[in-house]
């Protein structure tokens, strides 16, 4: 027990340091700018929450984007009616997502397996269509919900004429950024990112506590053999529903943060593709692991924002050392995997990981570490035998 607590403390410390130093660590890879760093943190929270449901209980939901969208809408309404301070908006987004997930989870968990997945997908698509066309007075339809100059904001002081308000945390704007020259580059330290980073660390700590708790053990038992648990007289539905609601709360928090960083909410956040994306994040990183969902979220968002921005001009410069004929051939070939074709690269990577690393990126890291350990142990054993030979 003591060693487990020590290892968890070490893991949390390393994770927190890695997150907080993100602007420095990721700058050499072209990912150190605030918008992308915020996405890393926000979708990391989204994936951590989804992993509590899918990774621990085995229930595969294709409708978690509904909670992401509901959280965004709730946050924007808080900005319109109450204040531009992000704290009430985040609390409201979490509360609304929790209530919404209780309703959807209670109905969907009456079935399991593929039927559960289809039910959650149906609810997500219903939510998307309601937001897109039916509930336009609340969601503003396809245009999306956004803040306006004439919004009441009863808790905020009056603004100057024509002055659009900014989201803030007790007066500190989320878009406040400090450019600091460091290591031959210009690092960008953004307030919004560090707010998201603090909540990501908190979300990771809560997830860790759930994984190590008796409640987490019950969720693993549900995944292992739910029928056997039912035969013993134990009702598994309350545990599955609790995991579903916790997962929905994480998604609502992520949706609220998306609106806090950019006060706009649209129905596209509730599409089935957004739900599928978080499934990919979790599987790529490693379902049922602590770090896997965060790694998967970071990988997909990196591909989406960096690889998609690579154009033919960049490729010409990259392959510039080759003769003209070979350069043109390599540019034509590699252009299929970047720019608009970045999904092809992601799909190929996903296939490789699923085939060779079913446990995701975490399993790959564990295999590499195990390989180094085995080499060290063989080297130590060989030294010991060589040292012992003269004594014999």
Highest mean pLDDT among 85-99, 132-146, 359-373: 85-99
Kindly report the average pLDDT of the chain as a whole number: 88
Highest mean pLDDT among 108-112, 138-142, 152-156, 196-200: 196-200
Q: How far apart are CA 170 and CA 78, in angstroms?
A: 15
Asked if the structure places residue 354 within a domain, the reply is no
Q: Mean pLDDT lowest for which of 7-16, 222-231, 269-278? A: 222-231
**pLDDT number for residue 6:** 84
Structural domain harbouring 171: 2-288
Q: How close are the terminal C-alpha atoms of the chain, in Å?
A: 42
Residue 391, pLDDT > 50, answer: no
Residue 276, pLDDT > 80, answer: yes
Residue 62 and residue 279 in contact, taking contact as beta carbons nearer than 8 Å: yes
Structure tokens at 30: 């072209």
Residue 87, pLDDT > 50, answer: yes
Q: Mean pLDDT lowest for which of 43-52, 105-114, 193-202, 322-331? A: 322-331
Residue 94, pLDDT > 80, answer: yes
**pLDDT number for residue 257:** 96
Work out the pLDDT band at 392, boundaries 50, 70, 90.
very low
Residue 382, pLDDT > 60, answer: no
Compare 178 and 309 and report the one with higher pLDDT: 178
Asked if the structure places residue 180 within a domain, the reply is yes
Asked if the structure places residue 305 within a domain, the reply is no
Asked if the structure places residue 260 within a domain, the reply is yes
Asked if the structure places residue 250 within a domain, the reply is yes
Q: What is the number of structural domains in the chain?
A: 1
Q: How far apart are CA 14 and CA 9, in angstroms?
A: 9
| CA angle (41, 43, 46) in 5-degree steps | 115
Asked if the structure places residue 105 within a domain, the reply is yes
Q: What is the pTM of this model?
A: 0.91
pLDDT in tens, 282-297: 999 999 999 999 999 9
Work out the pLDDT band at 386, boundaries 50, 70, 90.
very low
Residue 303, pLDDT > 90, answer: no
Q: Mean pLDDT lowest for which of 22-26, 95-99, 306-310, 382-386? A: 382-386
pLDDT in tens, 231-272: 888 888 899 999 999 999 999 999 999 999 999 898 888 888
**pLDDT number for residue 183:** 76
Distance of CA 47 to the CA centre of its chain: 4
Work out the pLDDT band at 390, boundaries 50, 70, 90.
very low
Residue 188 and residue 270 in contact, taking contact as beta carbons nearer than 8 Å: no
Average pLDDT over residues 223-234: 81
**pLDDT number for residue 162:** 67
Go through 207-238 and write b for each residue having 16 or more CB atoms within 10 A of its CB, e for each that does not.
bbebbeeeebebbebbbeebeebeeeeeebee
Asked if the structure places residue 342 within a domain, the reply is no
Asked if the structure places residue 362 within a domain, the reply is no
Work out the pLDDT band at 4, boundaries 50, 70, 90.
confident
Distance of CA 311 to the CA centre of its chain: 27
**pLDDT number for residue 209:** 94
Q: What proportion of the chain, given as a percentage, has pLDDT over 90?
A: 50
Structure tokens at 83: 């204040």
Compare 149 and 199 and report the one with higher pLDDT: 199
Close Cβ partners of 308 (under 8 Å, ≥ 6 residues apart)? 338, 339, 340, 342
Work out the pLDDT band at 121, boundaries 50, 70, 90.
very high
Close Cβ partners of 40 (under 8 Å, ≥ 6 residues apart)? 22, 31, 297, 298, 301, 302
């Amino acid at each position: 027990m003591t060693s487990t607590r020590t290892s968890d403390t070490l893991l949390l410390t390393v994770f927190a340091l890695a997150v907080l130093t993100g602007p420095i660590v990721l700058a050499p890879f072209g990912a150190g700018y605030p918008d992308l760093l915020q996405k890393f943190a926000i979708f990391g929270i989204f994936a951590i929450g989804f992993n509590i449901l899918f990774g621990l209980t085995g229930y595969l939901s294709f409708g978690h984007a509904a909670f992401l969208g509901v959280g965004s809408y709730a946050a924007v309404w808080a900005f319109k009616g109450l204040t531009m301070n992000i704290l009430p908006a985040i609390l409201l987004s979490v509360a609304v997502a929790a209530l919404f997930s209780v309703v959807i989870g209670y109905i969907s968990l009456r079935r399991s397996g593929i039927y559960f997945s289809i039910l959650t997908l149906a609810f997500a698509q219903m939510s998307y269509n309601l937001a897109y066309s039916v509930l336009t007075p609340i969601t503003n339809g396809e245009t999306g919900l956004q803040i306006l100059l004439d919004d009441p904001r009863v808790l905020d002081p009056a603004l100057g004429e024509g002055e659009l308000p900014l989201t803030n945390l007790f007066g500190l704007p989320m878009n406040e950024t400090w450019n600091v020259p460091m290591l031959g580059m210009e690092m960008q330290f953004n307030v919004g990112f560090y707010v998201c980073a603090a909540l990501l660390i908190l979300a990771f700590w809560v997830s860790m506590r759930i994984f190590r708790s008796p409640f987490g053990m019950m969720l693993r038992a549900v995944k292992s053999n739910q029928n056997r648990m039912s035969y013993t007289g134990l009702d598994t539905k309350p545990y599955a529903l609790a995991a579903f609601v916790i997962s929905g709360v994480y998604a609502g928090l992520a949706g609220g943060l998306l609106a806090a960083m950019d006060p706009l909410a649209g129905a596209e956040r509730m599409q089935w593709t957004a739900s599928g994306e978080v499934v990919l994040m979790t599987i790529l990183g490693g379902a049922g692991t602590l770090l896997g969902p965060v790694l998967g979220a970071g990988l997909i968002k990196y591909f989406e924002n960096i690889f998609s921005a690579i154009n033919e001009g960049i490729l010409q410069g990259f392959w510039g050392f080759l003769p003209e004929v070979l350069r043109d051939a390599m540019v034509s070939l590699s252009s299929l995997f970047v720019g608009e074709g970045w999904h092809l690269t992601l799909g190929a990577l996903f296939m490789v990981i699923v085939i060779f690393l079913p446990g995701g990126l975490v399993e790959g890291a564990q295999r590499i570490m195990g390989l180094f350990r085995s080499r060290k142990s063989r080297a130590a054993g060989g030294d010991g035998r060589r040292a012992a030979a003269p004594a014999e």
